[in-house]
Each structure stands twice: as C-alpha cells, then as structure tokens.
Structure 1
Amino acid sequence: MSESSKAARNRQLALHGFTEFAAGNIDVLRTLLHEDFIEHSPENPSGREAFIAFIAEAPVARARLDLKRVIADDDHVVMHYHMATDDDPRGIAVVDIWRMIDGQIVEHWDVVQPVPEAAQIPYGMF
C-alpha cells in the first residue's frame, strides 16, 4: 500500500469513527481502538476497555462536536474540532492526534484549549 493510500485509508477510518462518536455511538470505539491502545493525556487511562469506560463518562460524550479539519500523514491522523455544550456554548478547541496501525488507533495525544471571548481572538479559533 502506498503512503498516500495508507493516509487516505486512515483518514477515512478516523473520520467514520469521529462521525459515529459525535452522533452518540460510543461503541464504535470497540472496533476503532486497539486492545493495547496507549493514551498520552494526563489522567486518561490507556487500554481499550478502560479508555472507553472513561470516555463514556467524560463531557465529550455529551457535547456537540463540530469537525473543522482532518489531516492525514502515513500512520497519523489529526482532527481539529470545536466541542461545545448548552452550558458552555463557547466551548473548547480540540486537536486530537491519532497513530493508526492496521486500521486501528494504537496511540492518542491531544491539545485542548478553552475558546476565549471573540474580542480576544480577532481572527477566530477555527
């Protein structure tokens, strides 16, 4: 498989998973995450089952997720999105970095930033 087709396949798998998760289907993570999934975010557990149990109770599972961009390069897929709730309409800007092997996510990193008042970001967050 060429590098560009691998990136395209990983992009499509991650995009499908994101779309399903954003629609409320947490079970999509059972096929998308590798059993030995490694999580690099502080206080978030590694391992597929532990991570799914954690994320099912996390605010992201009940938030509106508005995907802004997807970038894929070889084994890595980067997703930039806006996460908001009724209680926090400004929400949070999130960048997830996924490393994928053989159609499953094996590692995850993220960067999370609260969206400030519009006057503080004249060019926008997204």
Structure 2
Amino acid sequence: MNNKELIERGLKEFASGNVEALRTLLHEDFLEHSPGNPSGRDEFVEFLTRSPLLESRMTVKRIVAEGPYVMVHHHATRADDERGAAVVDIWRLEDGLIVEHWDVVQPVPDPAAVPNGMF
C-alpha cells in the first residue's frame, strides 16, 4: 500500500469514528506541529478522542502525494456551522507510518467574499 492509500484508509477510519485505528498508522514518536495538539502516538490518539473533530463531517476535495508527503485538502463542517472550515493537512510518512503532521485551518467566509470558492 502506498502513502496516499494509507492516508485515505486512515481518513475513512477516522471519519467512521474509529479513532483507535490511527494507532496502527502513527509512529510511536509521531511529531505534531499544530498549536495545542500533542506529539506522540498515544497522546495524539487520546487527544483526538476528545476533539470536536469527531463531530465534524470531512469532505475530501483533493489528495496530493509526493514522496513521503501526503496533502489532504478538505472541508470540515458541523451541524452548528454549515460553512465550516477549509483544512489542509500535511502528513509525512516513513516505512508505512505517519511520523509528522502539519495543518492549516481557515474558516469558510460568506460566499460573497470568495467569488471563486474555497474549494
């Protein structure tokens, strides 16, 4: 299985509510670069079990893979926030495991403010 397929599988599991499946995809010494999110496989998985992300619906718009990096551009929405956020996750993999993660999250503004759309 290539890196893109590993990330796609992880996203499907996470979106279905199976956060524990991430333990098989994350390296024990996983490094997190997003403010407020912990590093370490077990710490990160535990953090996600309490995260509002579990209440979000993620609609993947595109996935780009190059070498050890996989970038996912998606739209995250919740029942109380229809516009949601535009998110880009960047994952770095080694030997079939995720070793690092970065993300950029931007609230989706009123459509009039983005005539060409966010996605």
Judge same fold: TM > 0.5, yes or no: yes
**Separation in structure 1 between the aligned mates of residue 26 and residue 92 of structure 2, nearest angstrom:** 10
Q: CA deviation at 1:115?
A: 0.4
Please list every run of 5 or more consecutive structure 1 residues that lacks an aligned counterpart in the other structure: 1-7
3-state SS in 1 of match to 2:103:
strand
Deviations 1:1-55 (A, max 9, x none): xxxxxxx700000011111111111111110111100000111100011111111
Deviations 1:90-122 (A, max 9, x none): 101100000000111000000000000010011
2:23 aligns with 30
**Separation in structure 2 between the aligned mates of residue 57 and residue 116 of structure 1, nearest angstrom:** 26
1:52 aligns with 45
Corresponding letter in the other structure for 2:118: M
TM-score of the pair, normalised by structure 1: 0.92
Aligned residues: 119
1:122 aligns with 115
2:79 aligned with 1:90 = no
What's the RMSD between the two structures over aligned residues? Answer: 0.9
Q: Which has the higher strand share?
A: 2
**Separation in structure 2 between the aligned mates of residue 117 and residue 53 of structure 1, nearest angstrom:** 34
TM-score of the pair, normalised by structure 2: 0.97
Q: Which of these residues, 43, 51, 64, is aligned with residue 71 of structure 1?
A: 64
Corresponding letter in the other structure for 2:108: V
**Separation in structure 2 between the aligned mates of residue 47 and residue 106 of structure 1, nearest angstrom:** 9
Runs of 4+ in structure 1 displaced over 6 angstroms? none
**Separation in structure 2 between the aligned mates of residue 99 and residue 125 of structure 1, nearest angstrom:** 25
Q: Which of these residues, 36, 41, 60, is aligned with residue 34 of structure 2?
A: 41
